[in-house]
Chains A and B, each alone.
Chain A
Amino acid sequence: MSSADTEPAPADGDDQVAEEPPRARRSGPARRRGSFTLTVEGAPTLALRGVTMTYPNGKSALRDVSLTVAPGDFVFLVGPSGAGKSTLIKLLIREALATRGRVILEGRDLARLNRGEVPQIRRRIGIVFQDFKLLTEKTVRENVAFALEVTGTPRRQIDPAVDRVLRVVGLSGQADQKPAELSGGEQQRTAIARALVHDPHIIIADEPTGNLDPLISWEIIQLLLRINDMGVTVLMATHNAEVVTALRKRVVGLENGRVVRDEMGAAYHRED
């Protein structure tokens, strides 16, 4: 034991006040018990800094994109097909790496993660797709539990966590049905439950209502809004003009790989 360990640091202003990092922090174990509360202040949940993405075939999908999303934001990502929305999402979930620029999620530069850290960061993102990506031979409960099983969650923690998210999405009654027995909306809610079960800080949804009729689409949007109210940041790429315009949330427009608009409380189409 050296005395340096116990001696108080010189009080000249250098002393380390163990400050919590300013960005949103949630205590894992507390959240496991079922609370979605979090403080939404400080550093952004995600940030893109001058991101350019050129595919190996020379096609450039994103050009110099910069974007900041604060914790608790609800952001619609809009734009015509081929504008770069899917590429942007691929970069955010680190399915691809930017050719230039930085993609920062939860304070981490995604290009600098080592192999072992990629799964760790993905557990903090909930991902929802247009085609649900459910396993057809598993029940609703098993589909949701799968996300925990494959990340090494102890069995005794899985059931309570699954029950909790199934309640959140309103599928407790359908837990033992298989996807084929469910409506499209229920399938998407299953996918959302799976995305939620790791208590992500952000939900990234790629056209989540693309395969659903308008009424069911609203149901899904309501659910995402509720999740957003619990403090989870939501980024949703969509073509659904009606929903975007009605909700008056933040809208980021992409065209030809560039951000052409970023407005708060905006409609699907530019209104000026």
Chain B
Amino acid sequence: MAAFIGFSLQRAWQGYWRNGLMSLAATASMTLMLVLLSGLFILLSGLDATLNYVESKVEVVAYLADSASLDEINALQADLQALPEIAGVSYVSKEQALKDFQARQPEVADLVAALDENPLPASFEIRLHDPADYLDVATYLREQPIVDSVQDIKKTVGQMVAVIGLLRTVGVVVLLVVGLTVLFIIVNAIRLALVARAQEIEIMRLVGASDAFIRWPFIFEGALVGLFGALITIGLLWLAQDRLAGALADFFAVLPVQASAMVGQNVALIVLPTGIGIGVLGSYVSVRSYLSR
């Protein structure tokens, strides 16, 4: 058994490097697929977390007219706090809204700064005891003269869910297509490896090598493509970690969580088995079709 594993690993390793260009192509496409997979995973986890957070925090946003005076605003806040349906009210001033926006969208911060006046309205973020009371509260808010418009976060969340769902579907389809391409490339890479070793395989058969000795080195070679692809992907993500975490923090500004710590481990747990799994599957298909002749 030790002789078998040693032999298979050694031959897989030799085969991988001897088959240089094709191994490189297979590993590169494997890496591409795994990076896409990680990207989609990170994005979706972030969006999911954002969604949960937003959902738990705010339910109704009332945008206030710029003409509203501070007294009017204070009076309305007091009225709202007195309403039994309302669990909490927080005031976001125009200045605060602009700051939040600039923090969330740093790339347009300069553009916003160039504006003559702050275009963002002040608002009340309101939490309800029971989301079913939304209509009553919304109607009450719309009756207030200083309230410009009322936004139902539930509706926004519903739209977000639809977008995330679409993103997930598109992502999965793209990944499937890329995954199949990678599988195809590996099947071909291993096929070339088999052809390159055709004489060795013939001799192995003639001297009485068992099927396992003939097949497993190639399966291991496919697994190596997956392993290298996964390690490169993890390495790339690790290198990009800081920048990525920064980008994520900006993107999901409302989140109090550390995005990279959250997904880093999970990405490794997804990328390694996926890479090795596709590598093994591709080489298995190739070996099976080639050697069963």
Contact = CB atoms under 8 A, between A and B. Distances in A.
A152 B210 contact: yes
20 contacts: A93-B206, A116-B211, A119-B205, A119-B208, A121-B208, A122-B205, A122-B207, A127-B206, A133-B199, A133-B206, A135-B200, A135-B203, A146-B200, A147-B203, A150-B204, A150-B207, A150-B213, A151-B207, A151-B209, A152-B3
Interface residues of A, number: 23
Contacts of A120: 208
Given A133-B199, A135-B199, A135-B200, A153 B3 contact: yes
Interface string B88-108: 000000000000000000000
A141 interface: no
A149 to B, nearest CB: 6
Contact of A147 (B2, B202, B207, B214): B207
A151 B206 contact: no
A194 B204 CA distance: 11
Interface of B: 2-4, 7, 199-200, 202-211, 213-214
Contacts of B7: 149-150, 152
Contacts of B210: 116, 119, 151-152
Contacts of A149: 3, 7
A150 B199 contact: no
B134 to A, nearest CB: 70
A115 B4 CA distance: 18
Given A133-B199, A135-B200, A155-B3, A150 B209 contact: yes
B190 to A, nearest CB: 19
Interface centre among B199, B202, B207, B211, by most A CB within 10 Å? B207
Interface string A196-239: 00100000000000000000000000000000000000000000
A28 interface: no
B3 A123 contact: no
Contacts of A122: 205-208
A29 interface: no
By secondary structure, the B interface counts as: helix
A119 B206 CA distance: 8
B203 A133 contact: yes
A48 B252 CA distance: 79
A133 B208 contact: no
A239 B207 CA distance: 25
Interface in A77-120: 93, 115-116, 119-120
B194 to A, nearest CB: 15
A154 interface: yes
Nearest to B201: A150
Contacts of A154: 2-3
A122 B204 CA distance: 10
Interface centre among B3, B200, B208, by most A CB within 10 Å? B208
Given A115-B211, A120-B208, A151-B209, A146 B203 contact: yes
A202 to B, nearest CB: 13
A123 B204 CA distance: 10
Interface in A26-84: none
Contacts of B211: 115-116, 119
Interface string A124-151: 1001000001010000000000110111
Contacts of A93: 206
Contacts of A155: 3
Given A122-B207, A123-B207, A151 B200 contact: no
A135 B198 CA distance: 11
Nearest to A150: B209
Given A120-B208, A122-B206, A198-B207, 7 more contacts: A115-B211, A116-B210, A121-B208, A127-B207, A150-B7, A150-B209, A151-B213
A123 B208 contact: yes
B199 to A, nearest CB: 7
Return the 8 tightest CB-CB contacts between A and B, nearest first.
A123-B208, A122-B208, A150-B209, A147-B207, A119-B208, A119-B210, A150-B204, A152-B3
Given A116-B210, A152-B213, A133 B202 contact: yes
